[in-house]
């Protein structure tokens, strides 16, 4: 999977001749020292390239300023901080060249509308099927639980065990196998890409759709199914 991501992005770098252009990544929401594991809590990283932005959500924040070539050298297979920086950076670059869509989060007032639209689409395409929300998102959970039989998985210990809208949020590691067997459709947070669990959902013979800005660039490069109706490019 990471090999495919790397090669797809390198193809863009070579086609555009941008290896020595500058890209930066920082967190506007979190004070980064040396980076580190936030134990499931996610913060936003913002990438900037030629005045254009992209972003990702991650439990492993870090900062970067260097060339695009240096960005491509990061160890995305083994180092979660490198992976997060890489994803924020490539989302900004792909946004700059219109090679990714909805790279920036929607405004707060659109989030309920986003969730409602996604749920309507799911019901239209699938009927009333068992739905797994992989990655707790409050607006999404509220809309889904009102329309479909729902289970919720999350990796943030602060969320695990909480009851929301009558549903107990389950541990995304220990409850994973049982939940995916129960589910007929899966709505998966794009932050599965940064937290290292993306392949757990890509490999499933099920209807899996990703949402959010983190996976904007990779979804386009790998032709994954993604829903983000109110995301922005600027």
**pLDDT given for residue 87 in this prediction:** 98
What residues of the chain score a pLDDT lower than 50?
A: 31-37
Rounded to 5 degrees, φ, ψ at 74 are: -65, 150
Residues 151 and 59 in one domain: no
Domain span at residue 216?
Answer: 108-227
pLDDT computed for residue 133 by the predictor: 96
Cα separation, 5 vs 2, whole angstroms:
5
40 and 120 in a common domain: no
Instruction: Indicate if 165 and 194 belong to the same structural domain.
Output: yes
pLDDT of the residue at 231: 80
User: What pLDDT score does 154 carry?
Assistant: 95
pLDDT digits (tens, 9 = 90+) for 150-174: 999 999 999 999 999 999 999 999 9
Residues 131 and 168 in one domain: yes
The last residue of a domain, from among 96, 116, 132: 96
Domain count, the chain: 2
Beta bridge partners of 88: none
Q: Which pTM was predicted?
A: 0.91
Nearest alpha-carbon partner for 131 in 55, 50, 67, 209: 209
pLDDT score recorded for residue 32: 47
Co-location of 128 and 210 in the same domain? yes
């Amino acid at each position: 999977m990471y090999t495919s991501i790397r090669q797809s992005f390198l193809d863009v770098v070579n086609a555009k001749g941008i290896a020595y252009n500058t890209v930066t990544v920082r967190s506007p929401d979190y004070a980064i020292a040396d980076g580190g594991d936030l134990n499931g809590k996610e913060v936003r990283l913002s990438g900037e390239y030629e005045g254009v932005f992209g972003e990702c959500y991650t439990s492993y924040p870090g900062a970067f300023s260097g060339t695009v070539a240096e960005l491509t050298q990061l160890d995305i297979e083994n180092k979660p901080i490198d992976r997060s920086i890489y994803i924020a950076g490539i989302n900004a670059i792909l946004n700059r060249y219109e090679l990714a869509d909805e790279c920036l989060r929607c405004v707060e007032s659109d989030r309920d509308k986003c969730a409602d639209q996604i749920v309507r689409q799911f019901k239209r395409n699938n009927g009333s099927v068992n739905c797994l929300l992989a990655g707790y998102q409050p607006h999404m959970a509220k809309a889904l639980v009102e329309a479909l039989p729902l289970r919720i998985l999350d990796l943030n210990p602060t969320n695990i065990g909480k009851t929301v809208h009558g549903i107990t949020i389950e541990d995304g590691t220990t409850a994973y196998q049982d939940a995916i067997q129960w589910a007929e459709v899966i709505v998966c947070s794009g932050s599965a890409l940064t937290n290292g669990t993306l392949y757990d959902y890509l490999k499933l013979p099920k209807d899996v759709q990703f949402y959010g800005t983190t996976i904007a660039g990779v979804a386009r490069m790998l032709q994954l199914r993604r829903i983000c109706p109110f995301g922005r490019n600027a």
